[in-house]
Amino acid sequence: MKILVTGGAGFIGSHVVDTFLSAGHDVVVVDDLSTGRRENLNPKATFYQVDIRSPELTKVFGREKPDAVSHQAAKANVRESMEKPLLYADVNVLGSLNVLENCRKHGVKKVIYASTGGAVYGEPQYLPVDENHPINPLDPYGASKHHVEHYLHLYWLNYKIAYTALRYPNVYGPRQDPFGEAGVVAIFTNKMLKGEQAIINGSGEQERDFVYVGDIARANLLALDHGDNGIYNIGSGLGTNINTIFAELKQATGYKLPAVHGPAKLGEVFRIYLKADKARQELGWQPTVSLSEGLQKTVDSFRTWRQT
């Protein structure tokens, strides 16, 4: 199968590309390299440096004629979205519509969509959060990602383009940029390996659902053949607080400095973790990499990255 991966030079997208290629698929990558990196690109994939909002995207679809699209490209920084809501609507909503329109025009059979379980639900009314939980995002990022889920349904109803929406948790692992749209694991790991002060925002009692990026990539592979026209939480079902992440990474890196707390950040959910029973039953997915194992893999990869 030929699969076009948007954002395929990014942190998560590049792992998705690697997983598709390892499974024997033909992969085309579209990425504008605004946050993605050339060094993340798998040389076995065909690469186009194109913004998903650009009219040039039509030429890529016309030339490559993909069977499926894994749509990973997005602006994905909660704090930045509070400052630039128009940008997030432009890239995440209008950019996604451009992708869907090209899917319609060029006969794509299925779209796998990277949504967010960490930001669409807002502050949970109950835990763990399942897919039926009310949608009340606290930031423009979460709102923009959820908005596209409605368009996916519309394109299925009207044009029979199947979709699977995967609501990601807090994803971490190798290739996560510690300077850009970074998660706390990448930020802490980079600071600790450099011997610089890592700052915990707020009390550190905030809880997140951390899942290793390789497990996220495997969910995309499974979604090629399962879960048509469904929305799935991809999570561990467990909440881990930021103080615990700090302590685990401190041990893994040999970090010597104490924890220092700064102010809490606007627009962030305090506690969330996802119930993924539906993904286990219908996609055959569950996480396989434990938190301690995944954090060690991340630290090892950052050590290698810093030496190159």
Per residue of the chain (308 residues), give pLDDT as tens.
999 999 999 999 999 999 999 999 999 999 999 999 999 999 999 999 999 999 999 999 999 999 999 999 999 998 899 999 999 999 999 999 999 999 999 999 999 999 999 999 999 999 999 999 999 999 999 999 999 999 999 999 999 999 999 999 999 999 999 986 568 999 999 999 999 999 999 999 999 999 999 999 999 999 999 999 999 999 999 999 999 999 999 999 999 999 999 999 877 889 999 999 999 999 999 999 999 999 999 999 999 875 54
Amino acid 182: pLDDT = 67
Name the CATH topology of 2-173+209-236+276-288.
Rossmann fold (3.40.50)
Beta bridge partners of 240: 208
CB 207 within 8 A of CB 271: yes
Amino acid 268: pLDDT = 81
User: Would you state the structure tokens that stand for residue 185, as one six-digit string?
Assistant: 């694991």
Q: How far apart are CA 228 and CA 215, in angstroms?
A: 20
Q: How far apart are CA 184 and CA 79, in angstroms?
A: 13
Amino acid 308: pLDDT = 47
**Maximum Cα interatomic distance, the chain, rounded to a whole number of Å:** 58
Question: For the chain, where do the domains classified as CATH 3.40.50.720 start and end?
Answer: 2-173+209-236+276-288
Who's near 108: CB < 8 A, 6+ residues apart?
4, 61, 66, 67, 68, 69, 102, 161
Q: How far apart are CA 155 and CA 153, in angstroms?
A: 5
User: Would you state the structure tokens that stand for residue 163, as one six-digit string?
Assistant: 């979709």
Amino acid 307: pLDDT = 52
User: Which residue, 94, 92, 98, is CA-closest to 120?
Assistant: 92
Q: Which residues are catalytic?
A: 141
Who's near 33: CB < 8 A, 6+ residues apart?
9, 49
Amino acid 49: pLDDT = 98
pTM of the full predicted structure?
0.96
Architecture category of domain 184-206+239-272+295-307 in CATH: Alpha-Beta Complex (3.90)
User: Which residue, 175, 209, 220, 214, is CA-closest to 39?
Assistant: 175
User: Would you state the structure tokens that stand for residue 78, as one six-digit string?
Assistant: 């909660």
Q: How far apart are CA 230 and CA 71, in angstroms?
A: 15
What's the helix, strand, coil split of the chain in %, to 5? 40, 20, 40
Question: For the chain, where do the domains classified as CATH 3.90.25.10 start and end?
Answer: 184-206+239-272+295-307
Q: What's the full length of the chain, in residues?
A: 308
The SS3 call for residue 259 is coil
Amino acid 267: pLDDT = 76
